[in-house]
Structure 1
């Protein structure tokens, strides 16, 4: 694999100089209170909100993992990149409730809707989930990319990524994260877009790519009898994970909460949904191109997760290679920075402040900075487990999320759409779901130690997509049945927090926050998603 030359390093250095300059400017601004440090003063416009949503999502699992899917015959997982329609749900369905409640975090919203028990459980589960998925996965991919680009040991690259990102995240807070993510989103789109175009040109065009790989390779819909990716469980589980991630997860929702108002937040989510359509072309297709070039004997890599960095290093000319390398590093850093800030927010406001409610604002900001370091350390310790759960980084991420997301998605969906759900139903679902999900995850990690054919082995062996679909249905049932055994919530508790309790004044306020442009753009995005779903099927191949 070709290494970076002097011109590449000049481009990378220029990128980081701009990035750190912006971060330093933000750090110099006073951030003495929690609203400014954790939510950037709630004063961000729609463009930066959308770019921040995109940059927060497009991290290691996409740069490394999605291209690995394209190179590793895992096309069905493409469905996770067709969640632009769920990003729209964040702006159109959930945001008005979050904004009206005035909350900082998602656990805080559950406390408003239910009680403090739900807030505690979601806070703990979210922090654990970040360590198992976002933090460890991003650090792992950072090590893979940096070591591939610079030719240094994996752990050196992983730790270097953490340190560099942690410095400006800890010091600058949410405002530094949002501003730098906007720059990183632009660099990433330009860099990966150039690689896609040049890759297709190198392989001989789209028709030659399909001829080399085989048209059937692009089919994302497999029969329900498929042992790995049955289409119906894939659709159900991916949708549940999508609702959890895009509509209830702190990392994403925190971006729209930084907006000036509901109108800017909704438009930010629409812009984020539009950008969400790009990863298929920016990362998946380059992975397929890398596979085609390997089949043609023009490229070589050992693991599918290496496809993107190897393609970049060998295909692009000097200077341009540095730009795309900067885009790779940008994606890794933006994703990591988002997680750092959200973990800090959750721990400080939902754990520390609840234990010590009289601490001054400056003390809370300081605590948030310290909390980041502990989360990073735990993420580093979890990295060795990643390779035991799945052969691919992206699949590992979706695998774990299928065990974490169902109870949270069920509680938020029912909490917003069904006013009869009460605090006992919510806590039973969250605690029960936590136990069931982590039991399945533990059994899967230990599967090799069980006797083949035993009960524990069979449970561990259940397809994760099938398990996720049934798990979600069980969570819905628990939430409804337990709620029916206890009194309904009072009207005062529900005020404006569910569809059945919105006042006419609140409805009018929400209606005035959008126009025909917002509606038309949203419908266009949904149409594009449906078109892509059809295009990657046997019906069109």
Structure 2
């Protein structure tokens, strides 16, 4: 299906408008030259609404909209556990993790690891993150985005890749994090409006025009198996979401790794005006997370009713988009592309931040601020090129790209979570223990994948997490302490505002009711 002239006009207006706004917010005052703090941390100018919106925009991209809709089509509402448990995780991160990071005024997560351990740990983790961001995250966003453009607009996948890469570079390369974060506000508004309209339209269609509620009730009656939050072992998709173990086990490891220690997510909070602004932004993002399944999962379940028998489940969301009338299709299409380019901009900025501040500046320590900003821009651009080349070979044959992302980031996540949790809350953890967890995470994951390929990847992550925990503790106790910093890190203030605590309780209650209802 091709876009109408009206749809194309709306989409072009969005593209041009976003680039213009990004350019305007990126302008510096006369006489001020953009430095690393401006480029990588938005000059520590972000307010709570910008932080919250940008967190969601960075997270909700093609792999979320298309990938989670595809998983909704295949396995149902259970996949929404990723969204709802993420809301709880965000509140924990805001209260217990964020104060530690902001107290030490860091640019990157690897930088914190050097202050806590040593440079070797910082370097190893910097290389890990750059590899994962380029070959898992960037490639998946580009591939799924180009797939959507191909389905809706009839554009060849190759040209879709080129367009997305060029668009992301055009609006984010010059301004850095500031351009990304402030334009993310527009992206999220567009995403929510477009996503809710799509859900409304599909549910109304299922009810034959009798309304959204009737459509939802009809959907629960005609496809009750799609509304199981906890999958049983006889479910064909149990390997993707292994029942109760997913709820109480490895999903939390994934979430702490993603929301707590993931550079391209936490970088927004590091750029906050204050700890209070950062925590309010985290709370805002948690509230938005509660409603995200309506936008990213429900359409996939609806597509199961409207388009049974699709070749691949990831075709669900693009197929639904073809049902939209002229004008609204352009808006929904713009919302999808908004989510894609926002994540691309966020990821490339974080890749450039880690490379420039954790690797390049160590070997070239006396260069000018202008030089480091230039290196950051070159790295951002290069990462996009590499990801565009690697996208099809890595993802072309996957049915559910969202599961691909979760599985292969899971090779590193258990070790990362162990390193940070022990580093923040157990003073006796040593650099040798941290490196043992990092290396053990990858090695153990590969061994499980090769020798026990049938085990669900979330169960595998559980096993690997405890292996890494044991390795880190034993190594720290056995190997002589290599850094005095394990005893000199200052304690943070974990006090939060009353409003923050109220939001946390409200989020927990709402999510508990959802699980009780569809257990």
Q: Identify the residue that residue 62 of structure 1 maps to in structure 2.
A: 64
Distance 1:398 1:352 in 2: 29
Contact 2:116 2:489 in 1 (8 A): no
Q: Identify the residue that residue 222 of structure 2 maps to in structure 1.
A: 212
Q: Identify the residue that residue 477 of structure 2 maps to in structure 1.
A: 484
More moved, 217-226 vs 122-131 = 217-226
RMSD between aligned residues: 2.0
Q: How many residues align?
A: 504
Q: TM-score, normalised by structure 2?
A: 0.93
Contact 1:146 1:158 in 2 (8 A): no
Match of 1:519 among 501, 509, 512: 501
Match of 1:39 among 16, 19, 41: 41
Distance 2:40 2:184 in 1: 15
Mapping of residues 69-468 of structure 1, within 5 Å: 69-82=71-84, 83-204=86-207, 205-213=215-223, 215-223=224-232, 228=239, 229-235=241-247, 236-295=249-308, 301-314=310-323, 316-387=324-395, 390-437=398-445, 439-440=446-447, 456=450, 458-468=451-461
Contact 1:49 1:265 in 2 (8 A): yes
**Deviation of 1:496 (Å):** 4.4
**Deviation of 1:333 (Å):** 0.6
Distance 1:13 1:241 in 2: 37
Go from structure 1 to structure 2 and tell me whether the alpha carbon gap of 1:409 and 1:31 turns closer, same or farther (over 3 Å shift): farther
Distance 2:157 2:401 in 1: 15
Contact 1:422 1:488 in 2 (8 A): yes
Q: Identify the residue that residue 449 of structure 1 maps to in structure 2.
A: none
Tell me the SS of whatever aligns to 2:174.
helix
Q: Identify the residue that residue 210 of structure 2 maps to in structure 1.
A: none
Distance 1:465 1:389 in 2: 22
Contact 1:386 1:396 in 2 (8 A): no
Contact 2:50 2:185 in 1 (8 A): yes
1:22 aligned onto 2:21: yes
Go from structure 1 to structure 2 and tell me whether the alpha carbon gap of 1:376 and 1:492 turns closer, same or farther (over 3 Å shift): closer
Distance 1:13 1:326 in 2: 9
Tell me the SS of whatever aligns to 2:175.
helix
Measured against aligned partners, the alpha-carbon deviations of 1:198-255 in whole angstroms (never above 9, x if no partner) come to 2111101111112222x13210212357652322432312111110000000011101
Distance 1:284 1:341 in 2: 28
Go from structure 1 to structure 2 and tell me whether the alpha carbon gap of 1:181 and 1:84 turns closer, same or farther (over 3 Å shift): same
Q: TM-score, normalised by structure 1?
A: 0.89
More moved, 83-92 vs 388-397 = 388-397
Go from structure 1 to structure 2 and tell me whether the alpha carbon gap of 1:118 and 1:189 turns closer, same or farther (over 3 Å shift): same
Q: Identify the residue that residue 8 of structure 2 maps to in structure 1.
A: 9
Go from structure 1 to structure 2 and tell me whether the alpha carbon gap of 1:418 and 1:54 turns closer, same or farther (over 3 Å shift): same
Contact 1:191 1:323 in 2 (8 A): yes
Go from structure 1 to structure 2 and tell me whether the alpha carbon gap of 1:4 and 1:383 turns closer, same or farther (over 3 Å shift): same
**Deviation of 1:115 (Å):** 0.8
Measured against aligned partners, the alpha-carbon deviations of 1:39-68 in whole angstroms (never above 9, x if no partner) come to 000111000000000000001111111111
Contact 2:76 2:228 in 1 (8 A): no
**Deviation of 1:159 (Å):** 1.7
**Deviation of 1:91 (Å):** 0.9
1:530 aligned onto 2:506: no
Distance 1:273 1:521 in 2: 9
Contact 2:433 2:472 in 1 (8 A): yes
Go from structure 1 to structure 2 and tell me whether the alpha carbon gap of 1:524 and 1:89 turns closer, same or farther (over 3 Å shift): same
**Deviation of 1:385 (Å):** 4.5
Distance 1:159 1:436 in 2: 37
Task: Note the residue ranges of structure 2 that are not aligned, 5 or more in a row.
Answer: 208-214
Measured against aligned partners, the alpha-carbon deviations of 1:133-191 in whole angstroms (never above 9, x if no partner) come to 21110110111111112101111111210111112211111110101111101100011
